[in-house]
């Protein structure tokens, strides 16, 4: 049996226990006791800082065969929700920051997102398809209350009659129910709420600054009442952490009005592996080895399997058992019905901004 080093003490209200070096750092630092300190320094509260940035583009593309959309928008980089398992954490390394506490405390807001979206939708070669908001970080994380970037994107998409999906685990989505209701009336939107656990204590440890489970259920109910179609993502499923709640979660979201439910098995790419192991040692030390053994059993003996086709669901006996349990729960609660697609024939291209036209004409000379 391999031994894991004791985890660093956790900061209250944060998911990661520390700030590990990212994979691009050329030097490494480690804390060491030099004998001078009589007691460890108390952990100082970590404040969230937000940097406004001007992006050069806003629509991202992917060719992954196991993702149901090819184009997405992420209004923010980093996410204050602090979900310890988040597969997006390694992206902070590209900013020369740590995927640990930096990811959830040093955030970047793309304040020109709506302006860029209008420009990119006005391009003659733009092909109308489902545009997903929130594929990497949550578009309704707490800083959206002040920056309102996600709302500005919805306003552009409603104006241009462009279809979209939204993925969030924050009840702040209800603030924009007026726009979502109009989009739904035109069959242009579907919202997906992530529900990882119904246990508020576990949810608070896994996702410290996301909405509590009862608030997510309320969001589903309110959206349903407003005529907005809502699906649920049980993401991620973590063996011996929240997999025992599968049937209960599916039944609960069906009762409040969800029209579909799916799941994603926990993924631990790059730096997330060590962060998750430390979280287990901090919060579930007696279960840590068992959890990691089960994950490795579903990932071909590794902590993570990046292969298309298996990375979202895993493989092996345990993965198959969870697949069958989830499928049975979905059928039992009537969430297996086929859904109609969103409309793509209503799109009204925005007028090409004058600045872009002038730049193109100037480039000809």
Model confidence pLDDT, tens digit, residues 63-94: 888 888 889 999 999 999 999 999 999 999 99
pTM for the model stands at: 0.87
Mean pLDDT score across all residues of the chain:
89
Q: Tell whether the model's pLDDT for residue 358 goes beyond 50.
A: no
Residue 6 belongs to a domain: no
d(CA 102, CA 140): 19
Higher pLDDT, 29 or 184: 184
CATH number at residue 127: 3.20.20.70
d(CA 204, CA 131): 30
Q: What is the pLDDT of residue 30?
A: 55
> For residue range 116-125, what is the model confidence (pLDDT) as tens digits?
999 999 999 9
Q: Tell whether the model's pLDDT for residue 35 goes beyond 60.
A: no
Q: Using alpha carbons, select from 71, 82, 113, 68 the residue that is nearest to residue 17.
A: 82
Residue with tokens 């406004």: 52
> For residue range 250-308, what is the model confidence (pLDDT) as tens digits?
999 999 999 999 999 999 999 999 999 999 999 999 999 999 999 999 999 999 999 99
Region 236-243 average pLDDT: 97
Residue 243 belongs to a domain: yes
Q: What is the pLDDT of residue 13?
A: 72
Q: What is the DSSP string of 46-96?
A: PPPEEEEE--S--EEE---TTSS-SEEE-SEES-TT--TT-TTGGGGGGGT
Q: What is the pLDDT of residue 6?
A: 40
Q: What is the pLDDT of residue 65?
A: 84
Q: What is the pLDDT of residue 150?
A: 98
Going by pLDDT thresholds of 50, 70 and 90, the confidence category of residue 33 is low
CA distances to 2, 194, 230, 256 from 67, rounded to whole Å, are: 35, 16, 18, 26
Q: Using alpha carbons, select from 219, 215, 240, 241 the residue that is nearest to residue 230.
A: 219
Q: Tell whether the model's pLDDT for residue 126 goes beyond 80.
A: yes
Higher pLDDT, 59 or 30: 59
Q: What is the pLDDT of residue 9?
A: 54
Q: Which residues pair with 164 in a beta bridge?
A: 131, 189
Q: What is the pLDDT of residue 360?
A: 47
The edge-to-edge listing of strands for the beta sheet with 106-110 is 49-53, 106-110, 76-77
Q: What is the pLDDT of residue 14?
A: 77
Residue 261's SS3 state is: strand
Region 314-327 average pLDDT: 97
Region 146-156 average pLDDT: 98
Beta carbons of 294 and 321 less than 8 angstroms apart: no
| Positions of E strands within the chain | 49-53, 59-61, 71-73, 76-77, 106-110, 131-133, 164-168, 189-194, 230-237, 260-265
Q: What is the pLDDT of residue 155?
A: 98
Residue 271 belongs to a domain: yes
d(CA 263, CA 87): 15
Q: Tell whether the model's pLDDT for residue 207 goes beyond 60.
A: yes
Q: How many CB atoms lie within 10 A of CB 174?
A: 16
Q: Tell whether the model's pLDDT for residue 229 goes beyond 80.
A: yes
Q: Which residues pair with 49 in a beta bridge?
A: 106
Tokens of 85: 């398992």
Residue 23's SS3 state is: coil
> For residue range 271-284, what is the model confidence (pLDDT) as tens digits?
999 999 999 999 99
Tokens of 24: 């691009």
Residue 28 belongs to a domain: no
Q: What is the pLDDT of residue 336?
A: 83
- Domain span holding position 296: 49-337
Going by pLDDT thresholds of 50, 70 and 90, the confidence category of residue 356 is low
The edge-to-edge listing of strands for the beta sheet with 189-194 is 59-61, 71-73, 131-133, 164-168, 189-194, 230-237, 260-265
Residue 354 belongs to a domain: no
**Buried b / exposed e across 37-58, counting CB within 10 Å, b at 16+?**
eeeeeeeeebebebeeeebeeb
Q: Are strands 71-73 and 59-61 parallel, antiparallel or unpaired?
A: antiparallel
Region 13-34 average pLDDT: 62
Residue 111 belongs to a domain: yes
Lowest mean pLDDT among 62-66, 143-147, 163-167, 351-355: 351-355
Share of the chain above pLDDT 70, in %: 85
Residue 37 belongs to a domain: no
Residue 61 belongs to a domain: yes
| Positions of E strands within 195-321 | 230-237, 260-265
Share of the chain above pLDDT 90, in %: 78
CA distances to 150, 154, 172 from 112, rounded to whole Å, are: 11, 14, 21
Domains of the chain: total: 1
């Amino acid at each position: 049996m391999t031994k894991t080093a004791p985890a660093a003490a956790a900061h209250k209200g944060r998911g990661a226990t520390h700030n590990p070096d990212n994979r691009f750092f050329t030097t490494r630092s480690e804390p060491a006791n030099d004998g001078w300190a009589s007691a460890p320094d108390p952990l100082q509260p970590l404040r969230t800082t937000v940097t406004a940035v001007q992006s050069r583009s806003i629509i991202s593309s992917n060719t992954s065969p196991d993702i149901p959309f090819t184009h997405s928008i992420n209004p923010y980089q980093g996410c204050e929700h602090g979900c310890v398992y988040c597969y997006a954490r390694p992206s902070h390394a590209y900013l020369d920051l740590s995927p640990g506490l930096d990811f959830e405390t040093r955030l970047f807001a793309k304040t020109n997102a709506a302006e860029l979206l209008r420009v990119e939708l006005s391009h003659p070669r733009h092909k109308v398809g489902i545009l997903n908001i929130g594929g990497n970080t949550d578009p309704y994380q707490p800083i959206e209350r002040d920056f309102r970037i996600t709302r500005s994107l919805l306003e552009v998409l409603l104006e241009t009659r462009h279809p979209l999906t939204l993925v969030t685990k924050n009840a702040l989505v209800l603030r924009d129910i007026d726009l979502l209701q109009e989009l739904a009336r035109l069959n242009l939107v579907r919202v997906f709420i992530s529900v990882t656990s119904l246990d508020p204590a576990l949810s608070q440890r896994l996702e410290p600054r996301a909405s509590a489970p009862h608030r997510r259920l309320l969001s589903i109910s309110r959206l349903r009442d407003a005529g907005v179609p809502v699906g649920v993502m049980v993401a991620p499923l973590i063996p011996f952490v929240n997999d025992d709640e599968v049937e209960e979660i599916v039944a609960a979201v069906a009762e409040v009005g969800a029209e579909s439910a799916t799941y994603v098995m926990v993924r631990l790419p790059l730096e997330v592996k060590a962060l998750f192991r430390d979280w287990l040692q901090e919060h579930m030390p007696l279960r840590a080895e068992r959890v990691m053994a089960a994950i490795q059993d579903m990932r071909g003996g590794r902590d993570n399997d990046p292969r298309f086709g298996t990375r979202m669901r895993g493989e092996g006996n345990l993965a198959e058992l969870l697949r069958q349990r989830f499928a049975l729960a979905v059928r039992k609660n009537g969430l297996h019905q086929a859904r109609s697609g969103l409309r793509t024939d209503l799109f009204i291209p925005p007028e090409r901004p004058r600045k872009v036209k002038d730049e193109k004409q100037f480039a000809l000379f």
